[in-house]
Chains A and B, each alone.
Chain A
Amino acid sequence: MKKILIIGATSAIAEATARILAQRGDELFLVARNQERLNVITEDLKVRGSLGVHSYFMDANNFEEHLPMLNEAFGILGNIDIVLIAHGTLSNQKECEHSVDLTMHDIKTNALSVIALLTHLANRFEIHRSGTIAVISSVAGDRGRTSNYVYGSAKAMVTTFTSGLRQRLYKSGVSVVTIKPGFVDTPMTAKFKKGLLWASPEKVANLIVVACDKKNTVVYIPGFWWGIMKIIKIIPEKIFKKLSL
């Protein structure tokens, strides 16, 4: 039985992951800001077999709430085996272009709050000298595109930050896993037309659990996104700027 902290537990990917972990009997500490949904999910995971599910309400954008939350999580779970940071919003790119406030807010949600949490977590894990920190970034962070560069640049920051953190914590035996999902069919993307490249949250969750257990470094989910992003990254900027992606 593992002890797992999930931040952003009501996100579709996090919930699907939690279901797999609950079924195998792991103890979970769930953090989210929507109380009604968190309560429903907590009861559900208990029925699915988790030996203990604890919930905590917090808005990740209130940085001062991070420490009390972590104190409670470590207090209840003791040593944490895996932390999964999964919260975030999909920015409305068009609206962001006309609003500094909205752009800053989305960067705060998708990047700064993650970095604030990671800063605390890194120090605690470093002392324990074990455990896995898994963070959901995105393929969107690999290169900025017209259609979602606000979201993309926030995720790029997360990717780069976790890359550095991975090097630092390697010496302490702590794994940092950067998860880069492609298109996932969730409420966040309900408005998009779905095609062959889309994956279900269940499929993504299965791959996340495998990546965490294997202590991988950077994982594209599903794997074919590694190839797609490889190609997208080698396109020279001169040509890339003319593309509409």
Chain B
Amino acid sequence: MKIYGWGRYPTIDAQVLLPQTQSVCVDLIKGSQTVLPRGMGRSYGDSANSSTVIQSDYLDHFIEFNESTGVLTCEAGVSIREVLELTVPSGWFVSVTPGSSFVTIGGAIASDVHGKNHHLSGTFSEHLLSFDLLLGSGEIVSVTKDNYPDLFRATCGGMGLTGMILSASIQLKPIKSSQIHQTTIKASCLEVVCEQFEANHASTYSVAWIDCLLSGKQLGRSLLMLGEHAQDCTLELRKKKSLNMPIDMPSSILNHHSIKAFNSLYYHRIFSKTKTELVSFEPYFYPLDAISNWNRLYGKAGFVQYQFVLPKTVGVKGMKKILEVIVSSRKGSFLAVLKAFGKANENFLSFPIEGYTLALDFKMSEETVQLIKLLDSMVVEMGGRIYLTKDALMTETSFKKTYLHWEQFEEVRSKYGAIGKFASSQSKRLGLQ
């Protein structure tokens, strides 16, 4: 069966295993040559592609939820959406969430995902109390930061390459309302938006939507969106049916002109310099989850989501240089997101480092491959790195130059019998054993 990531590039013909119990997982791991655990396939590139994948679809059970402490224990295949459906009505929210709720807890750990509150709350693993990991030997170990620090640091952000996460305990955070106070600030260029990020550091959530088609004085024109959990509304979930993109869009519909028009409309829809409104958490955190299969928008060839981070020392100047290249390529999409990261954590392969991160989609083509090559070299030179969860094209050299702890990662994998057992198309491309 053909499988692929959310970007639908690249694809691989794979055997998909769907265990229903943990003991079947043990048998499958023992009986297989090389496998890779896989959740909902929402990473974009080839990080969840492998010739044999063990999918966690049926490992989607809750184990325990303590409503007074906000500690939730569940199997790895439970999605963030399912967690929120359970916990929001009793006043608990995930401490860190990525931009889609169609992500499993196992996947969130393996990618050590970050969200709009990274500058204050760090990554997903920083709120992870413990997890059960099935090793290559078939042994199940219960991992915490203290009892297996090496395995914890390797597995969080480790892209499923240390073993299969079976279940996890996470600490949720209390909320008084399911609504978000959203403040939108217009920023006329990159310098202004970066200043605004600094000025609003205390804001719980912050992210900027950035126009990647404008050049010159308007380079980096953005809408900065700040958010705070409301204090005095209900804890209800929104009951809204999602739309669906039933077919692949003809890829010509998304072109320079249509995107430019969209971007302009989107920016000018906000009239005043700042605007505050009360919105449900669903559209605030997961705007694209409302459209099933939105990835079909990019047509058959698929797309690459390119996300990199530049260290704070390089700052606005570095981001400006890269933006200029993206703008002059005229290939930038309308889904470009800018975020200021807080401090990095200790995990070997976790993506965030203190600085600015930009994520945007490129429709897949030969020119895109060339453009990404150029961007990669700039990012590497400036001391930045590419997010493994989005990556489909990075070279081994770039990876090893930018993820400095890769050798420690390999040592831990070797120590716990992961080498040769767990591998993905990506891990092979990046020169991991």
Across the interface, do B21 and A187 meet the contact criterion of CB distance under 8 Å? no
The minimal Cβ–Cβ distance linking B73 to chain A, given in whole angstroms, is: 9
Q: State whether A43 touches B21 (Cβ < 8 A).
A: no
Do A40 and B61 touch across chains, with their CB atoms under 8 A apart? yes
Nearest residue in A to B73 (C-beta to C-beta)?
A: A47
Known: A36-B23, A47-B86, A48-B86. A187 touches B18 (CB 8 A): yes
In angstroms, how far is the closest chain A Cβ from the Cβ of B213?
A: 38
Residue from A34, A41, A48 with most neighbouring chain B CB atoms (10 Å): A48
Q: Render B24-60 as a binary contact track against A, CB cut-off 8 A, 1 for contact.
A: 0000000000000000000000000000000000100
Contacting chain A: which of B62-70, B220-228, B253-261, B281-289? B62-70
Residues of chain B contacted by A34 (CB below 8 angstroms): 21
Q: Which of A157-198 contact B (CB under 8 A)?
A: 187, 190
B interface, over-half SS: mixed
Q: In the docked arrangement, what's the CA distance between A48 and B65, Å?
A: 9
Which residues of B have CB within 8 Å of A48?
62, 86
- Judge whether B23 and A43 touch: CB under 8 Å: no
Whether A47 contacts B65 by the Cβ 8 Å rule is yes
Q: Are B21 and A47 in contact (CB under 8 A)?
A: no
Do A47 and B63 have beta carbons less than 8 Å apart?
yes
Q: Are B20 and A47 in contact (CB under 8 A)?
A: no
A48 to B58, CA, bound (A): 16
- Cross-chain contact of B61 among A12, A43, A187 (Cβ < 8 A): A43
Identify A47's interface contact among B18, B22, B23, B62, CB under 8 A. B62
A-B interface contact total, Cβ < 8 Å: 29
Say yes or no for A65: interface residue by CB 8 A criterion: no
For A43, the chain B residues whose CB sits under 8 A away are 61-64
Q: Which of A32-50 contact B (CB under 8 A)?
A: 34, 36-37, 40-41, 43-44, 47-48
Q: Is the CB of B23 within 8 A of A41?
A: no
Is the Cβ of B21 less than 8 Å from the Cβ of A40? Answer: yes
Q: How many residues of B contact A (CB 8 A)?
A: 13
Interface of A is mostly: helix
Question: B residues within 8 A CB of A37?
Answer: 20-21
CA distance A12 to B61 in the complex (A): 13
A57 smallest CB distance to B (angstroms): 15
A187 lies within 8 A of B58 (CB): yes
A contact residues around B75 at 8 Å (CB): 40
A41: chain B residues within 8 A (beta carbon): 61
Is there an interface contact between B58 and A47, defined as CB atoms closer than 8 Å?
A: no
- CA gap between A40 and B21 in the complex, in Å: 9
* Chain A nearest CB, measured from B91 CB (Å): 15
A41 to B21 CA separation, bound complex (whole angstroms) = 11
**How long is the Cα–Cα vector from A190 to B22 in the complex, in angstroms?**
18
Q: Which residues of A contact B61 (CB under 8 A)?
A: 40-41, 43-44
Q: Indicate whether A187 sits within 8 Å of B20 (C-beta atoms), given known contacts A40-B61, A43-B64.
A: yes
Most buried by B among A36, A40, A190: A40
Provide the A37-71 mask, 1 if CB < 8 A to any CB of B, else 0: 10011011001100000000000000000000000
How far apart sit A41 and B63, CA to CA, in the bound complex (Å)? 9
Determine the distance from Cα of A34 to Cα of B21 in the docked complex, in whole angstroms: 10
